[in-house]
Amino acid sequence: HVLKCCQRVLAWVPVAFIALVVAWSYYAYVVELCVCESMGRVASAGFVYLVVFHLSFFMFVWSYWKTIFTSPASPSNEFCLSKADKEQYEKEERPESQQEILRRAAKDLPIYTTTASRAIRYCDRCQLIKPDRCHHCSACDICVLKMDHHCPWVNNCVGFSNYKFFLLFLMYSLLYCLFVAATVLQYFIKFWTNELPDTIPQFHNSTNAKFHVLFLFFVAAMFFISILSLFSYHCWLVGKNRSTIETFRAPTFRNGPDKNGFSLGCSKNLREVFGDEKKYWLLPIFTSLGDGCNFPTRLVIMDPEQVTVPSQNEAAKSSGSNQSFPTRPLSESQNRLLASDCQWVESGPEEESVKTG
């Protein structure tokens, strides 16, 4: 118990470090730069800097707060085994018998992916059948819906419930660092070359202010470069409708592993994360489509990276030897996403069919 408590406390160290850096950057920019600069030659420039700075600072802190304190979404109770099935599963020692119990329990669940060995994905720790794109986080010790990764900088799992907040956090932190670095650059050059005019004595004679402004530029530029690569990577993931886990290990469908199995096209992939109403896209409020337990899939994938598309005969042949997949009406959000495009309709082994739009 003591070890777990220490582990939980230490997990907040990266978050505390970011909070301290952000608090210091606020002081350095507002007090040491804008206030002194506004008391100098150009008061209007300092006022404009303050307005833009506080706007970007507020959106950055808001999205960061939501990413940290939004609890990861877990599977609903329908994915848990019944008491009788759980007792029977624990008594069985043969994997084949355990899989038979899981198949029987999952026949009415919206599950279309399996393990690489074609087994039902089951979490022994949480004792539940994993929905599609759900994974167990060892740090949080829970199964997380559409888990992307566990981020130590937010001390939280990034998944279905807060993935939009995480993307906005990256975007606003990127804009925050860019704005700070761009506006501090002119003072950084003047401080470095000792060319700051005497008309701003607060800067010219203050070693403390000089240190803050010089260090502020270095920190903002460093964070901008590091966050830019991470934000670009996640923008690419959103366009492909993949998680970080799915990039390294493609989900296995009834026709085999398919890294593009959940891709509906760039526009619909974007709407799946940010929602239908564009006016809420830039606000850290939850607008993602679906329930996180089931996602629209299609066998025919219009993706340039997909060199070959399996034919209907090949799909039927590859699926005939596997266990049956359940049928479940798509939710309203999924129907909107699929619209009139190609749709993969899953059914039992006696009625295997692939419908194309």
| Helix (H), strand (E), coil (C) string for 100-123 | HHHHHHCCCCCCCCECCCCCCCEE
Measured CA to CA in angstroms, residue 52 lies from 55, 195, 229, 331 at distances of 5, 27, 24, 41
Q: CA 62, 178, 218: angle at the middle one, nearest 5?
A: 110
pLDDT > 70: percent of the chain = 76
How does pLDDT run across 256-267, given as a tens digit for each residue? 899 989 999 999
CB 113 within 8 A of CB 243: no
How does pLDDT run across 209-233, given as a tens digit for each residue? 778 888 899 999 999 999 999 999 9
Q: Is the pLDDT of residue 90 over 50?
A: yes
How does pLDDT run across 149-190, given as a tens digit for each residue? 999 999 999 999 999 999 999 999 999 999 999 988 887 787
CB 240 within 8 A of CB 269: yes
What residues act catalytically? 151
Instruction: Give the whole-angstrom CA distance, residue 40 versus residue 200.
Output: 5
Q: Is the pLDDT of residue 99 over 90?
A: yes
Average pLDDT of the chain is 81
Q: Print burial letters for 124-134: b (CB count within 10 Å at least 16), e (below 16).
A: eebebbbbbbb
Instruction: Give the whole-angstrom CA distance, residue 316 versus residue 354.
Output: 8
CB 107 within 8 A of CB 326: yes
Q: What's the helix, strand, coil split of the chain in %, to 5?
A: 55, 5, 40
Can you give the pLDDT at residue 18?
96
Name residue 343's amino acid: Q
How does pLDDT run across 123-139, given as a tens digit for each residue? 999 999 999 999 999 99
Burial class (CB in 10 A: 0-12, 13-18, 19+), 306: middle
For the chain, give every domain's residue range. 77-158
CB 120 within 8 A of CB 100: no
Name residue 271's amino acid: R
Instruction: Give the whole-angstrom CA distance, residue 159 versus residue 136.
Output: 11
Can you give the pLDDT at residue 45?
67
Instruction: Give the whole-angstrom CA distance, residue 198 versus residue 204.
Output: 6
Instruction: Give the whole-angstrom CA distance, residue 157 versus residue 163.
Output: 9
Measured CA to CA in angstroms, residue 170 lies from 56, 60, 164 at distances of 12, 8, 10
Give alpha helix (H) positions in 83-194.
83-91, 95-105, 163-193
Can you give the pLDDT at residue 351?
38
Q: For residues 315-341, give the mean pLDDT.
A: 44
Q: Is the pLDDT of residue 339 over 80?
A: no
Can you give the pLDDT at residue 337?
55
Instruction: Give the whole-angstrom CA distance, residue 334 versus residue 331.
Output: 5
Q: DSSP secondary-structure letter at 323?
A: P
Residue 288's SS3 state is coil
